[in-house]
């Protein structure tokens, strides 16, 4: 009986010390900040968030960008220099939208899109939205005025009418250079509706964005 009482008393003492340790916290620990990141991942996210704020702590909501890239037209298997300008608006931590104007050289084609953006993780955005492709000269068939495999292919006037509706799907990743400036590499697929068919064009490039 004495040995049983000794073991019971020891177990009770250990349990009491454990309870007091949980309640009091680690020895020597001072007051904690309830807003401090609890994990390295949260600390990284907190650091990334500060990049999207100005010197006064206000979140940047707008961005203006210039774009330089290339457009690969599958119908011709050719790539054309593409210049563009973009406006972006951040609606929340996850959502935003863009208004994009691009000029595809050699065929004098303009592309206007308004994709909605969803932040997948970190600074990676998925973009999707409608747009229009306009070729003022409308000299050839195919997306962005390109001939369908034959340069100089003649068409009837009623076949040249536009603009043409398109859907754009893409990915973009923000690389911060400073609080105000960032590089935005992007890769997009344009599905252009022309003459009852969906023509594909791939757009690859990088934008320099000023946030304000």
Task: Give the model confidence (pLDDT) of 104-162 as tens digits.
Answer: 998 789 999 999 999 999 999 999 999 999 986 554 444 555 444 333 444 444 445 67
Q: Mean per-residue pLDDT for 16-23? A: 43
- Most confident range, picked from 46-50, 96-100, 107-111: 96-100
Question: Does residue 198 or residue 144 have the better pLDDT?
Answer: 198
Task: Quote the pLDDT of residue 210.
Answer: 97
pTM: 0.66
**Rg of the chain taking only CA atoms, in angstroms:** 29
150 vs 206, higher pLDDT: 206
- Residues found in the chain: 212
Mean pLDDT of all residues in 35-62: 52
CB 110 within 8 A of CB 165: no
Cis peptide bond N-terminal to 163, omega within 30? yes
Task: Write down the pLDDT at residue 130.
Answer: 98
Q: Is the pLDDT of residue 2 over 60?
A: no
Mean pLDDT rounded to a whole number for the chain: 75
**DSSP code at position 141:** S
Instruction: Give me the phi and psi of 77, to 5 degrees please.
Output: 55, 45
Give the residues across from 168 on adjacent strands. Answer: 129, 190
Between CA 171 and CA 129, with CA 111 as vertex, the angle to 5 degrees is 45
Residue 131's pLDDT is 98
User: Is residue 135 a contact partner of residue 196, using CB atoms and an 8 Å limit?
Assistant: no
In a 3-state reduction of DSSP, which class is residue 181? strand
pLDDT of 52: 56
Q: List pLDDT tens digits, range 160-183.
A: 567 999 999 999 999 999 989 999
Higher pLDDT, 135 or 96: 96
Token readout for 136 is: 């003022």
Output the pLDDT for position 51. 53
pLDDT at 211 over 60: yes
Closest CA to 184 of 129, 131, 124, 127: 124
């Amino acid at each position: 009986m004495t040995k049983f009482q000794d073991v019971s008393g020891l177990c009770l003492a250990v349990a009491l010390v454990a309870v007091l340790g949980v309640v009091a916290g680690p020895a020597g620990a001072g007051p904690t900040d309830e807003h401090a990141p609890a994990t390295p991942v949260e600390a990284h996210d907190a650091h990334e968030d500060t990049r999207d704020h100005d010197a006064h702590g206000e979140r940047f909501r707008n961005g203006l960008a210039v774009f330089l890239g290339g457009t690969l037209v599958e119908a011709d298997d050719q790539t054309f220099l593409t210049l563009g300008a973009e406006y972006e608006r951040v609606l929340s931590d996850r959502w935003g939208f863009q208004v994009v104007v691009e000029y595809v050289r050699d065929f004098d084609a303009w592309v206007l899109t308004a994709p909605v953006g969803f932040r997948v993780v970190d600074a990676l955005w998925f973009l999707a939205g409608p747009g229009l492709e306009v070729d003022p000269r409308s000299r050839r068939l195919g997306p962005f005025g390109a001939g369908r495999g034959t340069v100089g292919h003649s068409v009837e006037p009623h076949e040249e009418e536009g603009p043409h509706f398109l859907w754009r799907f893409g990915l973009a990743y923000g690389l911060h250079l400073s609080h105000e400036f960032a590089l935005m590499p992007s890769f997009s697929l344009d599905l252009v509706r022309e003459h009852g068919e969906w023509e594909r064009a791939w757009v690859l490039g990088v934008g320099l964005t000023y946030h304000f």
